[in-house]
Amino acid sequence: MRTNGLIALALLALHGACDAQLDVFTVGIDDVPADQGAAPDAAEDAGRPSELLAHEPFGGEGDLNAASSGFGFTSDWRRQRESPGYERVLEGGLSFPGVRSTAAALRGGPAGVASWRLLDLDRFPDGFVIPTGSPPQPSLAGPGRELWLGALLRRDEPDDGTGFGWGRLNSISAGGFSAMALVVDDEWRLVVGSGDGEERTAIAATLGRTYFLVIRTSFDEEQLLAELFVDPPTDGEEPGPAAAVAATSAPGRFFDRVLFAPATGVHAGPAMTLDEVRIGTSFRSVTGR
C-alpha cells in the first residue's frame, strides 16, 4: 500500500456540486450550543434532528487543545503531543452548497500532530455500541448499523496526509484510525484499518478548494465497510455513488472518536482548514439540514 505519510481525519468534500443551484445555510456562532463534556440538555436536543448525534462547529477562538464546542462528545480536543497546534478562528468558516455552516473554522497546525475527541456513546441508539476487548470496553461497531461522518475541508499546503476520520479504540496516534479520508499523491483516498486497505477516488485534492467529504460506515459481525463520497449532491436523502469503498476487520473496525491531522511535510503556514464535523445516522443529518 502507498501511504506517503498517513495522517488522518475523516469526512468528505466538494467536486462539481456548486452548479447544482442549492442553498447555502449560515448561522451565527451564538446559535451553536456549547458542550463542555456535560450531559446533553433536553431543550437543546429538542431543536435538533434526531439523526444528528454529534456536531463540532469549532466555535470560539484560540488553541484547539482542551477546547470544546458543539455537542455529542465526552472529552475536549486532545493532541498527540504538546506543540503549537490548531487554531480556532471566528472568521473564515468554510461553506458548501446545501451544508449548514457557521462563521468559525479550524486552521491546521504542525505536521504529524494528531488531534482527537471522544464521542458520547450514550447518545447513540440501541445496537450501535458493543463491548470489545479485554476487559470489555464500549465501541462503535454494532452489526447491522450504519453511521455517517461528514465535514468541510480545504487543503492549504501541498503536503500529503491532510485528512480526517474515525479514530480507533484506545488510539491517539495519527495512524490509529478505522476509516479515513486523506490526501495521497494530490488525490483523495479512502484508507481503512490503519492501513489494511486503501482505495483511490481519482478525484484531485486541489489546493484552496473547499470539499464536502462524507464517510458512510456500516458493520456486520466480521468487518467494517467504509464508503467515501466527495462533494456529493446535498438535495436528496442519499448521496449517490461512492467515490471509493474499502473494508477492514478487527481490531481496525472498532472506534470511539474522531481523529485528524493536517499533513506530513514542513510548511510555512496552516496545512488545512476544517469545519462542520457532523456524525449522524443519515446522510441528511451530516449536512445539518
What does 221-249 look like in DSSP terms, one character per residue?
SSEEEEEEEES--SSSSS--S-SEEEEEE
Q: What average pLDDT does this structure show over 216-232?
A: 90
Q: What average pLDDT does this structure show over 83-96?
A: 81
At 98-142, the pLDDT tens digits run 999 988 998 876 655 778 899 999 999 999 998 887 788 898 888
Q: How much is the pTM? A: 0.81
Instruction: Provide the pLDDT for residue 73.
Output: 95
What is the spatial distance between Cα 179 and Cα 248, in angstroms, rounded to a whole number? Answer: 9
Write the CATH number of the domain with boundaries 17-287: 2.60.120
User: Is the omega angle on the peptide bond into residue 135 within 30 degrees of 0, that is, cis?
Assistant: yes
Burial of 185 (0-12, 13-18, 19+ CB in 10 A): exposed
- Which residue would you say has higher pLDDT here, 253 or 171? 253
What is the spatial distance between Cα 184 and Cα 181, in angstroms, rounded to a whole number? Answer: 10
All residues at 6 or more sequence positions from 284 whose CB lies less than 8 Å from its CB, including other chains? 49, 51, 237
Distances 38 to 72, 75, 109 between C-alpha atoms, Å? 9, 9, 28
Instruction: Provide the pLDDT for residue 63.
Output: 80
* Residue 200 three-state SS: strand
Closest by CA position to 230, among listed 184, 192, 190: 190
Q: What average pLDDT does this structure show over 166-173?
A: 74
- Which residue would you say has higher pLDDT here, 180 or 41? 180
Average pLDDT value over all residues in the chain: 77
Instruction: Output the nine-digit C-alpha cell for 138.
Output: 464500549
Q: What average pLDDT does this structure show over 206-227?
A: 91
User: Is the omega angle on the peptide bond into residue 251 within 30 degrees of 0, that is, cis?
Assistant: yes
Q: What is the CA radius of gyration of the chain?
A: 17
At 3-33, the pLDDT tens digits run 333 333 333 332 333 333 222 323 332 333 3
